[in-house]
A and B are shown apart, each in its own frame.
Chain A
Amino acid sequence: MKELAEHLQTPMINLLLSIADDKLFLGHRNSDWTGIAPILEADIAFSSLAQDDIAHASVIYELINTINGQDPDQIAFGRTADEYLSASIVSTSDSFNWAAAIARQFFCNHFDYIRLQRLSTCEWEPLASLAKRLTTEQAIHIEHVSSWVVHLGTGNEESASRMQEALDVYAPLAVMLFEKPEGFDTLVDDGVLHQPDDFFATWKQSLHDVVSSAGLTLHLDQIASDFSGGRSGQHDEDFSSSLAELHAVFNEDPAAKW
């Protein structure tokens, strides 16, 4: 289908916002490492990951524009905190701990890759074709971050214990990625989105494959079905400080052309 029925438009916008907002904030957090990552290659990589994620977010904001006509820059930067639908892990500070940055990226990338893979079979063609394209780029992210998890896990005692600690700290936040944006079930019930298998189980398995080859362990508990957090617009302090930083330049002159 090329056109979305009217009652599916808001649910689709919420879904697209949850994806794009995840990418915008994760990209913004990753860009903190530009210039100060542990080694030059990691510096280039995190800057590239940031550039990729923010570029992907912008294309999804443009897709929202095709539904509601809103200016993509306004969607990205012109909303109030409770209108952002990102999960809290993407904006959580890593306190410049490299293992923490890798853990955050690891959980989010595997989630995003599988999410896009599933969306590439969606019945709304504009999203399906975009998701298909984004999946191939996201595969490069997964490959990179997973190799870092293995690298740190099999490095020395200190790197392994710091990687393990970061996985333990981020795991409870990572499962919140599974909070459904409002109207998600309508998209499924109306046959727009397909649910080929258990998303959570696939994600867990994909993480486990890497974590076990890194000699580390991972414990993940699913969130309650009535869990309400970032995807419902309820955010923490880390989100607020990240948003304030993101908005700072835009608010100087919201009508500026870039």
Chain B
Amino acid sequence: MVIERDILDILETIPDPEMPISILDLGLIEEIEINDSSVHVTVLPTFVGCIALPVIADEIKLKVGELEDVETVEVQFIYDPPWSTDRITTKGKTDLATHGITVPDGTTCGCTSHAIGVDLRITAIACPWCESNETTLTSPFGPTRCRSIHFCNSCRQPFERMKKV
């Protein structure tokens, strides 16, 4: 018999192609449906049309398909509910920090002075290495679509941040 726990254990071993943590810790998995020997996994992409999606789908199909009693695996990507950085697990956040990638906290900026509600100010972001707030944004775009590049003026180290979406 196929049980959800086994599938979750498998998903925890699949690394995201662009982030140094598993797709489970990244909060991509929305739902797992099991019907006898067929498994349907619903996945939330971090960014719309992310080029890593086919790789993620193939990995899930391959690894979950290796489980005993599993015959078919389907992977579906949906945008509602939207993925957000709030979905990253505590373990995921800790692991990302050890790789120099920080994650925005749950608070949102209340600034609505702009006509369409976009905040143009860059707020202080804590360095994942030394926790100093003396940091500057080097580039709002980084090595992948979901990351920006920062520099810590205290410990003089570069770091990255998951974009707040």
Contact = CB atoms under 8 A, between A and B. Distances in A.
Q: Do A and B come from one complex?
A: yes
A40 to B, nearest CB: 8
Nearest to B49: A55
Given A130-B79, A132-B82, A143-B118, A44 B48 contact: no
A202 B114 CA distance: 11
A110 B79 CA distance: 22
Given A44-B139, A137-B165, A140-B140, A209 B49 contact: no
Contact of A129 (B80, B145, B149): B80
Contacts of B80: 125, 129-130, 132-133
A81 interface: no
> Majority SS of interface residues in chain B?
loop
Interface in B30-68: 47-51
Contact of A136 (B49, B82, B114, B139): B82
B78 to A, nearest CB: 8
A25 B19 CA distance: 29
Contacts of B116: 110, 113-114, 117, 142, 202, 206
A210 B116 CA distance: 12
A48 B49 contact: no
Nearest to A139: B118
A51 to B, nearest CB: 6
Contacts of A125: 80
A173 interface: no
B50 A55 contact: yes
A147 interface: yes
A234 B111 CA distance: 41
A48 B145 contact: yes
B114 A137 contact: no
A114 B116 CA distance: 7
Contacts, number: 83
Given A48-B141, A129-B79, A130-B79, A147 B48 contact: no
A187 interface: no
A95 B75 CA distance: 44
Interface-central residue, B50, B51, B80, by most chain A CB under 10 Å: B80
B141 A55 contact: no
Given A51-B145, A56-B48, A209-B115, A41 B79 contact: no
A205 interface: yes
Contacts of A129: 79-80, 82
User: How large, as a class, is the contact surface on chain A?
Assistant: 35 or more
B92 interface: no
A206 B118 CA distance: 9
B141 A133 contact: no
A162 interface: no
B140 A144 contact: yes
B145 A52 contact: yes
Interface-central residue, B50, B82, B118, by most chain A CB under 10 Å: B118
Interface in A37-61: 40-41, 44-45, 47-49, 51-52, 54-56, 58-59
Interface in A118-132: 125, 129-130, 132
Nearest to A208: B115
5 contacts: A51-B145, A113-B116, A136-B165, A139-B118, A146-B120
Closest 9 CB pairs of A and B: A55-B49, A129-B80, A48-B141, A41-B139, A206-B115, A205-B115, A45-B141, A136-B165, A133-B79
Given A45-B140, A140-B163, 12 more contacts: A49-B141, A113-B116, A113-B118, A129-B79, A129-B82, A130-B48, A133-B48, A134-B48, A137-B47, A143-B140, A150-B120, A209-B114
Interface of B: 47-51, 79-80, 82, 114-116, 118-120, 138-142, 145, 149, 163, 165
Interface of A: 40-41, 44-45, 47-49, 51-52, 54-56, 58-59, 110, 113-114, 117, 125, 129-130, 132-134, 136-137, 139-140, 142-144, 146-147, 150, 202, 205-206, 208-210
